């Protein structure tokens, strides 16, 4: 593939993971239970019988895993902290677990010893179970903010002398919708899913969304006030979101539906967080008073807490088709149909190893350009990856020849390069998901996203072809004459 080198010389890149998906050791080192521990052990099973009790045993094998990062040439590593490993009961007046702090200190020091930059996510879905039991967790907007701010402050205090890159929350849309609308993720609340805990799909996701937005803002404000002057780091948030194309490109209604779907997916969080303004107008129009308003005090907090960067988690794209009928009270997508083929029967991209993901790099380029145009912050792609077709049924020797994943990465890195070179987007880094095959949440241990094959019986790690190709794919696109600062001055 020919390309114009257009990634800045100081482009950050590496691999990403999440604590509950890889750490294991759930009852070791003083760790308390999280909502995912509870959810994974529900009967009948919600996770295909899988749990994170052992996972990849990263808690005991982290040195081996960091050696893999060094072997792959990674400049950076994005990982999350387990809130309940640091504060087992989670609350602002609850004791700190020094064993948990010591574990993450060892991990951070081991990364720096290998010349790898730590990127720390404070929250990747694993709320301490004690907070859910105490006041409903994210359903209590005021209490959750206070406890999350205290947790964030502890992390800045204990790790901020070495950690200079912070992500507050990972994918608040997933937390809100899958946790409190569909019930497919922890804590599994829903009023439309017969297997879920009783909830209120029409109202709870929007309450949780506000709690997450304001908890993020409280954590950023705390960093700005008390830690940025001495630590000199940067802080952002990782938002997921597909790119949507109109199902019928000639239809004004479908073009509006595609934009509306992205407002419900991304604007829900990005408009308050990055622009310090209310939710998108289309959400207000559809949801009415079910979408909780922001007070003047809360808007002032959002203005004070604008992030340094936009963390983008992108995997796929879809087509959006408008619906003729009015939205139901439990609709959370903006009254659209989401489809993988358009009116002409053209697929949005090549099928992968999981039903919801098709490779659509041309849409990724549009997505990068749109997000940067709307929100104006440097973008770090904090997750991007795929499982190969049939990979969940392959032997180790078959799975390590992951040519589909190699192509996926190359095509998506080319989309980044083109967005930088031709669309004026500022993209400063890229993290491939994931370092290891791991617990894929409610999909259990079937779907494999890793660049490293994990044998779940022996826990042996084996590098796949893609693990060793990513560095080459990035380096061939680096522009030695320009930096991220140069892009920002364009």
Domain ranges of the chain: 7-488
Question: Is residue 98 annotated as a catalytic residue, yes or no?
Answer: no
pLDDT tens digit string along 292-340? 999 999 999 999 999 999 999 999 999 999 999 999 999 999 999 999 9
Please give the average per-residue pLDDT across 463-478, as a whole number.
Answer: 98
Residue 91, φ and ψ in degrees, nearest 5: -85, 165
pLDDT tens digit string along 148-201? 999 999 999 999 999 999 999 999 999 999 999 999 999 999 999 999 999 999
Mean residue pLDDT of the chain comes to 97
Architecture of domain 7-488: Alpha-Beta Barrel (3.20)
Q: How confident is the model at residue 1 (pLDDT cuts 50, 70, 90)?
A: very low
Question: Is residue 263 annotated as a catalytic residue, yes or no?
Answer: no
* C-alpha span between 273 and 153 (Å, rounded): 19
User: Are β-strands 12-16 and 427-433 bridged in parallel, bridged antiparallel, or unpaired?
Assistant: parallel
Name 452's bridge partners: 463
**What is the structure's pLDDT at 5?**
79
**What is the structure's pLDDT at 3?**
54
User: Are β-strands 379-383 and 309-313 bridged in parallel, bridged antiparallel, or unpaired?
Assistant: parallel
Identified catalytic residue from 149, 204, 383, 391: 383
Kindly report the CA angle at 418 between 337 and 121, in degrees rounded to 5? 70
State what percent of residues in the chain have pLDDT above 90.
99
pLDDT at 466 over 90: yes
pLDDT tens digit string along 400-430? 999 999 999 999 999 999 999 999 999 999 9
Residue 367, φ and ψ in degrees, nearest 5: -60, -50
**What is the structure's pLDDT at 25?**
98
pTM above 0.85, yes or no: yes
pLDDT at 79 over 70: yes
Residue 422: both structure tokens together: 């031709």
Of 361, 362, 384, 381, the closest CA to residue 372 belongs to: 381
Residue 217, φ and ψ in degrees, nearest 5: -65, -40
pLDDT at 2 over 50: no
Identified catalytic residue from 171, 204, 391, 469: 171
* C-alpha span between 412 and 8 (Å, rounded): 16
pLDDT tens digit string along 440-464? 999 999 999 999 999 999 999 999 9
């Amino acid at each position: 593939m020919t390309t114009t080198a257009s990634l800045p010389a100081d482009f950050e890149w590496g691999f990403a993971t999440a604590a509950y998906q890889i750490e294991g050791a759930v009852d070791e080192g003083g760790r308390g239970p999280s909502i995912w521990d509870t959810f994974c052990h529900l009967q009948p099973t919600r996770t295909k019988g899988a749990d994170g009790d052992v996972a990849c045993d990263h808690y005991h094998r982290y040195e081996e895993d960091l050696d893999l990062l060094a072997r792959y040439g990674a400049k950076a590593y994005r990982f999350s902290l387990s809130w309940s490993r640091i504060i087992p009961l989670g609350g602002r007046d609850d004791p700190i677990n020094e064993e948990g702090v010591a574990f993450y200190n060892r991990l951070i020091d081991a990364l720096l010893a290998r010349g790898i930059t730590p990127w720390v996510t404070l929250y990747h879905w694993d709320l301490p179970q004690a907070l859910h039991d105490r006041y409903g967790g994210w359903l209590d907007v005021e209490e959750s903010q206070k406890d999350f701010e205290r947790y964030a402050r502890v992390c800045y205090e204990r790790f901020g002398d070495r950690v200079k890159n912070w992500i507050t929350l990972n994918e608040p849309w997933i937390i809100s919708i899958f946790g409190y609308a569909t019930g497919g993720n922890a804590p599994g609340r829903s009023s439309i899913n017969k297997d879920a805990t009783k909830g209120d799909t029409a109202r709870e996701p929007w309450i949780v969304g506000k709690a997450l937005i304001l908890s993020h803002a409280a954590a950023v404000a705390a960093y700005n006030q008390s830690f940025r002057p001495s630590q000199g780091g940067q802080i952002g948030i990782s938002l997921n979101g597909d790119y949507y194309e109109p199902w019928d490109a000639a239809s004004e209604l479908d073009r509006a539906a595609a934009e509306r779907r992205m407002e419900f997916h991304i604007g829900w969080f990005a408009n308050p967080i990055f622009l310090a303004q209310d939710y998108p107008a289309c959400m207000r129009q559809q949801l009415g008073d079910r979408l909780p308003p922001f007070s003047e005090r809360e808007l002032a907090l959002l203005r004070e807490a604008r992030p340094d960067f936009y963390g983008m988690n992108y995997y796929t794209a879809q087509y959006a088709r408008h619906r003729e009928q009015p939205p139901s009270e439990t609709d959370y997508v903006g009254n659209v149909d989401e489809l993988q083929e358009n009116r002409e029967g053209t697929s949005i991209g090549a099928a992968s190893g999981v039903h919801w993901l098709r490779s659509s790099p041309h849409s990724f380029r549009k997505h990068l350009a749109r997000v940067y145009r709307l929100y104006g912050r440097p973008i770090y792609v904090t997750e991007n990856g795929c499982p190969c077709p049939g990979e969940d049924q392959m032997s180790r020797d078959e799975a390590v020849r992951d040519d589909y994943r190699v192509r996926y990465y190359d095509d998506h890195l080319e989309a980044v390069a083109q967005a930088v070179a031709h669309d004026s987007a500022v993209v400063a880094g890229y993290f491939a998901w994931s370092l290891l095959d791991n617990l894929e949440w409610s999909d259990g241990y079937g779907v494999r996203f890793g660049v490293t094959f994990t044998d779940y019986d022996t826990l042996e790690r084996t590098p796949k072809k893609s693990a060793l190709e990513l560095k080459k794919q990035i380096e061939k696109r680096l522009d030695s004459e320009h930096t991220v600062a140069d892009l920002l001055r364009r």
